[in-house]
A = this chain, B = another copy of it.
């Protein structure tokens, strides 16, 4: 995973919660934030962005499904994984219909949970609500904006958005010009690599503090790379 993902882990069973948190952190892909009841979960959900929420169905103050609905209503778009003790159909259905994305029955083996977490994260990256961390910006492709720390918005054109999207997703960083051309303009595009260069230039003007000395969107012999 290119960037550390924030996970909000909500479970009142402290032993389980901490064990889980520890294992998640060990993967070095996640930063884990913990909550032990619905109220504090909501609070934490509001005060920062999480990339995924793990939610126990049974909490001391709220029902997990209700909490999930509440979170959705409050605008939490991240995938929610429900943990439950009972594998009854009713639970499953209700769990899924509360707006949760996946459902895991306790006890579970950690690798299974982990695989499902990764699958959810991967899937969410394709979604309209996806938010990416891009250097100092948070990037919302569907809104075509970059938002900086002080909440200033940088509007992007469609081409710019697509360029960033494909650069971000490139598994190992460098994307050759012609690949980028094909990805953004399509395979029969009558556009020269020169056009791409101009777009990169314009992007840099918008996103680089010092455009003539690119830090985020760097040139790399034959292509471009997005620094995280």
The yes or no answer to A75 lying at the interface (CB within 8 A) is no
Chain A binding surface, main DSSP class: helix
- The interface bits of chain A over 149-175 (1 if a CB of B lies within 8 angstroms of the residue's CB, else 0) are 000000000100000000000000000
Interfacial residues of chain A within 65-107, with CB under 8 A of chain B in the complex = 89, 92-93, 96-97, 100-103
Size category of the A interface is 20 to 34
Q: How far is the CB of A168 from chain B (nearest CB, A)?
A: 13
Which segment, of A27-35, A52-60, A110-118, A215-223, faces chain B?
A: A110-118
Taking a contact as CB atoms closer than 8 A, the residue among B93, B101, B112 that contacts A123 in the complex is B101
Nearest 5 pairs of A and B residues by beta carbon:
A93-B115, A96-B119, A96-B115, A126-B127, A89-B111
Q: Give this chain's copy count.
A: 2
The yes or no answer to A63 lying at the interface (CB within 8 A) is no
Q: Which residues of B contact A112 (CB under 8 A)?
A: 89, 92-93
Give me the interface of A with B, judged by CB distance under 8 Å. Answer: 89, 92-93, 96-97, 100-103, 109, 111-112, 114-116, 118-119, 123, 126-129, 158
Q: Which residues of B contact A116 (CB under 8 A)?
A: 92, 96, 103
Write 6 A-B pairs (CB below 8 A) sorted by A numbering. Answer: A96-B116, A101-B123, A102-B119, A126-B127, A127-B127, A128-B128
Q: Once bound together, how far apart are the Cα atoms of A103 and B158, in whole Å?
A: 35
Known: A102-B102, A109-B89, A112-B89. A96 touches B118 (CB 8 A): yes
Q: Once bound together, how far apart are the Cα atoms of A116 and B119, in whole Å?
A: 14
Taking a contact as CB atoms closer than 8 A, the residue among B100, B111, B158 that contacts A93 in the complex is B111
Known: A96-B119, A102-B102. 4 other contacts (CB 8 A): A89-B112, A96-B118, A101-B119, A126-B127
Q: How far is the CB of A33 from chain B (nearest CB, A)?
A: 24
